[in-house]
Structure formats: C-alpha cells, structure tokens
Chains A and B, each alone.
Chain A
Amino acid sequence: MRGSLVPVYRSRPSPLHTARAAASAGLCASLALVCAVYEHPLVLAAVLAAVVGAGLAAGVGREIARAAWLAVPLALLVTLINPLVYAEGETLLVRGATLLGHRFDITLEALAAGGLAGLRLGAFTMVFGLASACVDPDELLRLFRRVSYRSALTASLATRLVPVLARDAMRMGDAARCRAEPPGRLAVTRAAVSGALDRAVDVAAALEVRGYSAGGRPERDRRPWSRHDLRAGAGAVLVLVAAVAGRIAGAGTVTEYPGLDIALGPAELALAACVLLGAALPFAGRATRLGVARV
C-alpha cells in the first residue's frame, strides 16, 4: 500500500524472503523477545542495527525507513512523556511549576528511563516492520491455521481488508471533494467505516462459497529445509538462546531509580554480538540470485 507506514510484504529474491515463514518469522520473533526482555541500551541498539542491516541486505531498506517514520515519533513521545509523569530520581534537571498540588520536576533518571522505554518501543516497532516486509503472511497464517483455524482465517481476512479499506477511504475522500458542498471528515470517516462492514460481509460470503465452513486444516509443511531455512532458523535459535541465557545470567540489567545504573560488561557485549550475528546468519554464504521460488 503506497504511503502506508506499515511495510507490506512483497516477494523478493533475498535469503530472508526465500526462507520458510517459520524460520524468518522465528528470527523476527526472537529479536522481538530481546526487546521485550531487555532494556539495556547496547542490546536494544544491537537489535536496531540488526533490523536495519537485515532489512538492507534483504532489499527492503525503503520499507524499514517507512517503519522508522512510525518508530521514531513513538519513541520520542514516550521519551518526552515519561519525565513529565515520573518525578523520581536523584538528579534534578528542571524544577517545574506546581499544578493541582503536583509538582512537575524533571529528573535525569526519569528522562533516561523514558529514553530507554522509547528505544525499546522503537526497536520493537522496527522488528515488526522487518517481519511485515520479509515474512510471507499467507505462509505464516497457514502455520497458524493448523493451531487455531478460525482465528487465523479471521486474521488473514483482516490483513486482506486493510489495503482494500484504505483504497475505499481514499476514493471516498476524492468523492467528497467532488460534491458541491464537501461533507466533514467525520461524515466521510463514518461512511468509510460502515462501508467496511459491507466489504466484510462480501468477503465472508466469498469465504463461505470457497468451502470455509468445511473447516479442513492444512497439512504440515513437509518440504525439506533449504540452506536459507537452516540459516534463518539458526539465526533465530542463536538470538533466542543468547537472550534466555543472558537473562538467566543476569546480563543487561538496568536500574533507573533512584540513581541510573547501566551494567556494561562482557555479558552485554556478547549478547549484543549474538543479536547482530543471528540477524546476519541468513545472509551468510552465497546470495540467491535468480527467481523467487522457494528452494
């Protein structure tokens, strides 16, 4: 979808695209796990670098840049809001005014905590962007259909409807400009939303006549694992194991309050290196040059 901040999957001859969805989605999921478990700036920076590097190597740099347009404002927002909400911390930067009995002081620790939370959210958004651009949603949903058939199909319908509804809304906006008296945005939005219901009913009817209610589950994917599958899978396992082991070993601890304390040692460096290595693994060796067919 042109102009959307959420990257859209397009088949490309890159190792990450060519790898089976289970492997490439596994790699993205393990990177997301690192974002969820760690708040350490070095580790999060490694995730960001891994995402950007993998995106560039997979030929989806433009999509990653688009995801950054979403991630950076989100991160900044969290960074700026946190010191206004939390006045804890020992290092006072700005003594604020008192409003409704609450004094708005800004501390270095609260600002740093906000920055780390923003970095984490930004890294998470970028990982999501990488997954959206590189993992075939159909193949992924096929995997989930084996687990939860109806939920996965509903999800696939929703993903299918998003670009359709975006196009509908764009067309309705144009039609509104063509009216002698253009209506308000609210009226157009309301019409677009109610139109979505009609669209959903049409798609549901199409699903019914395709035998949806027969409810068969797809067979397990028995394709042999290609070198791209193996490399992406190995990258996912490496990042996952490093994240879990690091957590058990107590690596990457960050204490924001009352004083800022960020641990930095061999464990953190090793964890960051594993994240980078894991993301680089799918691109190790000879690159796929021809075609987009699954190997």
Chain B
Amino acid sequence: MSEALVCAERFSYAYPERAQPGLCDVSLELAEGSFTVLAGASGSGKSTLIRALCGLVPHFHGGDVSGELSVGGMSVREHGPGELAAVCGTVFQEPETQVVMGGVRAELSLPVEHRGHSAAAVARSVEEVALALGVAHLLERRTDTLSGGELQRVAIAAALVHRPALLLLDEPTSQLDPVAGDELIWLLRRLNEEWGTAVVIAEHRLERCLPAADRVVALEAGSVVCDNAPADFLSWAAAAGGALATPVARLFSLAGLGPLPVSVKAARDRLRDAGLAPAASSPADLEAQPERQGSSARMAPEERRPPSIFSRRPRAQPALELRGVWHEIEDGPQVLRGVDLRIDPGERVALMGRNGAGKSTLLRHLKGLADPTRGRLETAGPVALLLQNPGDYLIHEHVGEETGTRGLAAAGLSERAGASPRDLSGGERQRLALEVALGDGPGGREGEVSPLDRLGGCQGGVPPLDRHYAAVCLDEPTRGMDRASRTALAERIAALARSGAAVVMATHDTEFAAEFADRVVLMGEGVVIADGTPSEVLGGGWHFSTDVARTLAGAGGALTPEAGARMLTRELIS
C-alpha cells in the first residue's frame, strides 16, 4: 500500500428534494491496493458513498455537494462518471440491470470500445479479463441465459476489463445465493491480492468479507462513525450494541472472551488456545448419537426415505399436508419428486437447500400458483405467499394506498403513508409487501377471525389480522436485509405463528433460520433430504450451518451466538 487513491475531506452531499443529507462531513483516505468494507444499516449512506466515488453523485443524480472528494487525483465535482471510469470500475446490487449488451463478449468489449481502443487491444483485454475472472466459458453465452451469480461475475469483469486501480461494489452479493456470494468474495480477495486492485465493498453480510478486508469504514446517517482495522471495528461494533458485529464476534462478546475474532478460523484457534475447543460433531456423529440429539437420525442419505409422517406423535389437523407431490415440467426436469410434508398450525419451518432444489416451487404449490402433476396437497385454509421481490407487490403511487391502517401499523409505516413505495428501504418494502400479501386492509376482509387473535388481540405490538391464514409462506425474505430489518421481520413472523398460522420460509440464510425456525426442512433435487429441529439439521452440517456452529464444531447443537455463549460460559465455569 502506498499513496492515497481516494481522498475525502469533509465531503457532504444531499439528494435533490431531500432534507436529510446522504453523506455528512465524510473524511477518509484509501490507499492503493487496499480492501475496504463499508458497513452500516440500510440508509446509512454506503450506497451514496459508492455512487460518489464513481461520479454518479452528483453528476447523474444531481443534488448539493460540499467539501472535496477525489479519486485517482480527479475531483468528483469536476469529473463525471465517464472520466472517473478510467480509474474505477463499479458494480451495483442488481445483476440484471448492469448488463447492457445481449452477449457476454460484447458486454466485456463495450467499456474498452468506449475508450477507443483498437480491435486487437479490445480482444486481448476481453480474453485476459475473462480468464482472470473465470468467465471464459461464458464468452459466447447470451446474457439472458446466465444465472445471477454468473451475471454478477460478468458485471465485475466488465468493470475490470480496462484494468482500473479501484473496484467499487455496492452490495454485490445481496441478490445471490450464499454459494455464489462466497465465490464472489473469494474472487475479490484474489483480485486484491494478486493484481493489487483496491476494493471498496458495501455489504450487510460482514462475516463474508471481513476476513479479506484490511479496513472497515462504518457509516451512520451519512457520517463515518468508525474507521478501523476489522478486529478493532468488531470491538467497536460489539460495544455499540452488536448490530454490526458478526455472529462469531457476538459469540465471543457475549461469552466475555476477547479479542474478538474476524473469521471462523481465528475463532476456533482462539478457543483452542483457551482450552475451550469443543469436540467436533458431524452429520455422521448426529446419526450415530440419536439419543444425544433427542430424535432419530435426520440427515438421511438420499436413498433413505424421508422421515415418515406417521412416526411423529398424533397431532391435530395439519395446516398443510403434501402427500407424494410431484412437479414435472413437460420438456424439462422434475422439480418436485414425491414430496411428503406435514406442517402443523403455528409451526415455523425454514425450507432450505441449494438453488433448484425445489423450495420456491413448493411454496408456489402451497399458494396455488402451480398445480401438482401428481400427488395431493391439502391446506386447512387460505395461504398467503410473499414472493422474492417485495417491490412486485407495490403497485400504487403511495404507501397508504397499498394497504389499510392496520397493515401500515403492522409494517411500522403509519407515519409514511404519503411516501412513494420506491422511497422505502429494502426492509420497509419487505414488511409492507408482507402486509399486502396478508391483505390486512381497512374495514377488514371476509374470512375467519383467528381464535388466538380474538383471545390475545395484538401480539407483540402488531395489530391482529382480520383474516386467519392456515399458512404464511415467504420466499427468501431476508435477501439484502440489515440486522435491524431482519429482527423486525422475525418479530412479525413470530406474531403470525402465535396467531395460529404455520409459517414456511424458503431461505439460504442459516443464521436467520437458526433464530426464527423451530423446524428445518432440507431439500435436494426435489425431495426432502432432512427434516428436524434447527440444531439437528444445521448443527452438524458443513454448508448448511451457521458460523457459530462451525466455530463450535456443532457441539451442543448451538447455532446462535446466544446459545453458543451460554455453552462456552458453562465450559468456562466448569
């Protein structure tokens, strides 16, 4: 690292027609070859800072600027994004809207052609960046045939094809599944280490990128509130309430251990040094010790049938029951292959599995958006479904038109009824879309009133529903959410479950599943491959596991920082 690539001095910015500044007195210097993570809650100014660094602020968005910000020696006040693009490449959140051309090769050629390079230079740049970023096999593909992860890699390649010194990324993993997200972070790490490209990344899932970072800048209401090395940042975050602390850092902090580790590896090393390293357990261990886990072995091999519904204790009428449900595409794959599943009222189920495992299709069946090609599906009443994109539910000009006063109150948006849904944060949109899907409008709707609603009234400060749902299904609801939004969503889901609705959530977010669910159903290739409590399914997993479980090697089935800290404290006392 050497001289400053980015230099900000009391830089402030306000979007047009907004009273609150997007950035407020930001002063920082970023060195060449550095890897910087921008942390902060939704709306803290991370995206605005990224947009200022690439020149979109103020040239594209307009607004008022004060102070100074220079990138590669060019002031962003005088130089627009076209000129700054020579120094920095930028990648945004949404993979689909970053790709301009129809083919990958044309997409990668475009930035260098813009700079008037010769055909030979363009061809060489494309070849080199494609090989360096592992997208050479995609060069002849059409962009509309790529997955989200592939599109995001192509977007990064397009941002780097002219070899800028700085790469800016605005929550690049928020729309990706965990595997694609982790691959992307490893790619950035390699770029930074092997080619010395400076990286600035805004990200909510800090546990992913802190091990690669050498600096963390935390923002709050547009101001820099912490600018430190990752370990020091974690100490600050733990002291500041833990909203920005990683799960492993929270585990150590709650257990009173220090210093706080940046990665799972560092955490395990420190536990080992302190003589607290727990014995490792694996899926095989879990199978071998059913009595310790309190149930039969759940991590069944594929050839073994999923646990029989009759092996469970007799229960009341289920909220949902699937018997041998198949979804076979006429000229395509079998998405669901004889799924048997019974979910009781009030159960909170996390549906997990890799992309294409059949999670979303299963939810669409539950709602009635798709019909089984074979098998039976029974529900005890209406089913609500929140699909992956909450914005798709918001079709009016004002928030208040989307749902009634009760729905607004449940979403915590009573004060924002006059705002445009487009101005809401990701978390707010998600909460509003959930209320829209639940149809909690003014004056009530026809339908049964939940007995629990009638008895208990408002649970957890959330107004009761007029309509009783047998199940509420959510498809990837925590994508791109900060911790505060996830907590608010978890509270709403808990209230729905208390009202008697089964809650089924398809998710890749193991941390959220560990906190929210009382049952985890793991799917693979259209069948249920594991079904049990979160500790049973996530405790001994490798990929489907939480950071805390990895740190503690699945010991005691502890998944959350709180449970892990309790276990560690017991160990320390003993």
Residues of A within 8 A of B (CB): 1, 8-11, 136-139, 141-142, 145, 156-157, 159-160, 163-164, 168, 171-172, 174-181, 183, 187-188, 190-191, 195, 198-199, 202-219, 221-222, 292-293
Chain A hits for B306, CB < 8 A: none
Chain A residue numbers with a CB within 8 Å of B99 are 160, 206
Task: List CB contacts (< 8 Å) of B372-423 with chain A.
Answer: 384-387, 389, 391-396, 422
Contact for B142 among A9, A211, A214, CB less than 8 A: A9
Separation in Å of the B150 CB from the closest CB of chain A?
Answer: 16
* B110 at interface by CB-CB < 8 Å: yes
User: Chain B residues with Cβ under 8 A from A160's Cβ?
Assistant: 99-102, 143
Q: Are B441 and A175 in contact (CB under 8 A)?
A: no
- Contact residue range for chain B? 35 or more
Tell me if B135 is interfacial: C-beta within 8 Å of chain A.
no
Contact A178 B386 (CB under 8 A): yes
A138 to B140, CA, bound (A): 12
CB-contact partner of B114 in A1, A164, A205, A211, under 8 A: A211
Decide if A222 touches B119 in the complex (CB within 8 Å).
Answer: yes
Whole-angstrom distance between the alpha carbons of A211 and B110 in the complex?
9
Q: Which of B56, B85, B440 has the most CB of A within 10 A?
A: B85
Distance (whole angstroms) from the CB of A9 to the closest CB of chain B: 7
The answer to whether the Cβ of B342 comes within 8 Å of any Cβ in the partner chain is no
A172 touches B392 (CB 8 A): yes
Report the nearest B residue to A145, measured CB to CB.
B113
A210 touches B115 (CB 8 A): no
B142 close to A181 (CB less than 8 A): no
Closest to A183 in B: B395
Q: Which residues of A contact B520 (CB under 8 A)?
A: none
- Complex interface: chain B residues within 8 A of A214 (CB): 82-83, 85, 114-116
B248 to chain A, nearest CB (A): 34
Contact status A293-B439, CB under 8 Å: no
Say whether, besides A180-B439, A180-B467, A211-B114, A172 and B119 are in contact (CB < 8 Å). Answer: no
Contacts A/B (CB < 8 Å), 28 sampled: A1-B144, A11-B140, A145-B113, A160-B102, A160-B143, A171-B392, A175-B387, A175-B389, A175-B393, A178-B387, A180-B438, A180-B441, A190-B395, A191-B396, A198-B422, A202-B94, A202-B97, A206-B92, A206-B155, A207-B100, A209-B55, A211-B162, A212-B114, A214-B82, A214-B83, A216-B113, A219-B113, A219-B119
Which label, helix, strand, loop or mixed, suits the secondary structure of the A interface? helix
* Nearest A residue (CB) for B467: A180
Quote the shortest CB–CB distance from A145 to chain B (angstroms): 8
A11-B140, A157-B100, A210-B110 provided; 20 other pairs, C-beta below 8 A? A138-B103, A145-B113, A174-B392, A175-B389, A177-B369, A180-B439, A187-B396, A191-B394, A203-B97, A205-B56, A206-B92, A208-B59, A209-B159, A210-B111, A211-B115, A214-B114, A215-B114, A218-B109, A219-B113, A292-B140
Closest A residue to B84 by beta carbon equals A209
Closest beta carbon of chain B to A2's beta carbon, Å:
10
Contact A138 B80 (CB under 8 A): no
A136 touches B103 (CB 8 A): yes
- Max chain A CB contacts within 10 Å: which of B101, B367, B439? B101
Q: Is B526 an interface residue (CB 8 A)?
A: no
Smallest CB separation, B439 vs chain A (Å): 2
Residues of B within 8 A of A145 (CB): 113
CB distance from B505 to the nearest CB of A (A): 15
Residues of B with Cβ closer than 8 Å to A? 54-56, 59-60, 80-83, 85-86, 89-90, 92, 94, 96-103, 105-106, 109-111, 113-119, 122, 140-144, 155, 158-159, 162, 367, 369, 384-387, 389, 391-396, 422, 436-441, 445, 467
Q: How far is the CA of A207 from the CA of B158 in the complex (A)?
A: 11
**A137-B102, A142-B106, A206-B98 are contacts. A218–B113 as well, Cβ < 8 Å?**
yes
Contact B56 A11 (CB under 8 A): no
Q: Which 9 residue pairs spanning A and B have beta carbons closest together?
A: A180-B439, A213-B82, A216-B116, A138-B106, A191-B395, A175-B392, A202-B97, A211-B85, A209-B90
A291 CA / B471 CA spacing, docked (Å): 50
Contacts of B94 in A (CB 8 A): 202
Task: Say which residue of A10, A164, A172, A175 sits within 8 Å of B96 (CB atoms).
Answer: A164
**A208 adjacent to B60 (CB under 8 Å):** yes
- B100 x A216 contact (CB < 8 A): no
- Shortest C-beta distance, A234 to chain B (Å), equals 25
B residues near A198, Cβ cutoff 8 Å = 422
Knowing A139-B106, A175-B393, A206-B92, the reply to whether A211 touches B82 (Cβ < 8 A) is: yes
| Contact assessment for B54 and A209 in the assembled complex, using a CB-CB cutoff below 8 Å | yes
A216 adjacent to B102 (CB under 8 Å): no
Which residues on the B side are within 8 Å of A183 (C-beta)? 395
Complex contacts, A293 vs chain B, CB 8 Å: 140
Q: Evaluate contact between A178 and B97: CB separation under 8 angstroms.
A: no
> Do A178 and B441 have beta carbons less than 8 Å apart?
no
When the two chains form their complex, are residues A205 and B445 in contact, meaning their CB atoms are under 8 A apart? no
Contact between B395 and A211, CB atoms less than 8 A apart: no
Q: Point out the residues of chain B lying under 8 angstroms from A188, CB to CB.
A: 395
The residue in B80, B96, B117, B438 that gathers the most chain A C-beta atoms within 10 A of its C-beta is B96
For B162, what are the chain A residues with a Cβ–Cβ distance below 8 Å?
211
Cβ contact within 8 Å between B56 and A209: yes
B437 in contact with A180 (CB, 8 Å): yes
Known: A180-B467, A208-B56, A214-B115. A159 touches B102 (CB 8 A): yes
C-alpha spacing A160/B393, complex, angstroms: 24
In the complex, what residue of chain B is closest to A138 when comparing beta carbons?
A: B106
A164 to B142, CA, bound (A): 13
A167 to chain B, nearest CB (A): 8
What is the CB-to-nearest-CB distance from B160 to chain A, in angstroms, rounded to a whole number? 11
CB distance A221 to B119 under 8 Å?
A: yes
Q: How far is the CA of A176 from the CA of B155 in the complex (A)?
A: 31
> CA separation between A136 and B102, bound complex, in Å?
9
Chain B residue nearest to A192 (CB atoms) is B395
Q: Which residues of B contact A142 (CB under 8 A)?
A: 106, 113
B387 contacts which of A138, A171, A191, A202 (Cβ < 8 Å)?
A171
How close is A129's CB to chain B, nearest CB, in angstroms? 17
- Nearest-neighbour CB distance to chain B for A143, whole angstroms, equals 12
Q: How far is the CA of A1 from the CA of B102 in the complex (A)?
A: 12
Q: Which residue of B lies closest to A216 (CB)?
A: B116
Report whether B119 and A181 are in contact in the complex, using a CB–CB cutoff of 8 Å.
no
For B82, the chain A residues whose CB sits under 8 A away are: 208, 211-215
CB of A202, distance to nearest CB on chain B (Å): 4
Whether A213 contacts B392 by the Cβ 8 Å rule is: no
Q: Which residues of A contact B393 (CB under 8 A)?
A: 175, 178-179
A187: chain B residues at CB < 8 Å are 395-396
Contact flag A181-B100 (CB < 8 Å), given A11-B140, A142-B106, A222-B119: no
Distance to closest chain B CB from A177 (angstroms): 6
The one of A177, A179, A210 in contact with B439, judged by C-beta atoms closer than 8 angstroms, is A179
CA distance A8 to B386 in the complex (A): 31
Q: Assess the B436–A179 pair: CB atoms within 8 A.
A: yes
Residue from the set A8, A179, A183, A212 with the largest chain B CB neighbour count within 10 Å: A179
Known interface pairs A10-B142, A183-B395; A174-B100 also in contact (CB < 8 Å): no
Residue of B nearest to A292 (CB): B140
Chain A min CB distance to B129 (Å) = 13
Which residue of the partner chain A has the closest CB to B111?
Answer: A210
Residue pair A206, B97 in contact (C-beta under 8 Å): yes
Q: Which of A171, A178, A195, A221 is most buried by chain B, counting CB atoms within 10 A of its CB?
A: A178
Q: In the complex, which residues of chain B have a beta carbon less than 8 angstroms from the beta carbon of A209? A: 54-56, 81, 85, 89-90, 159
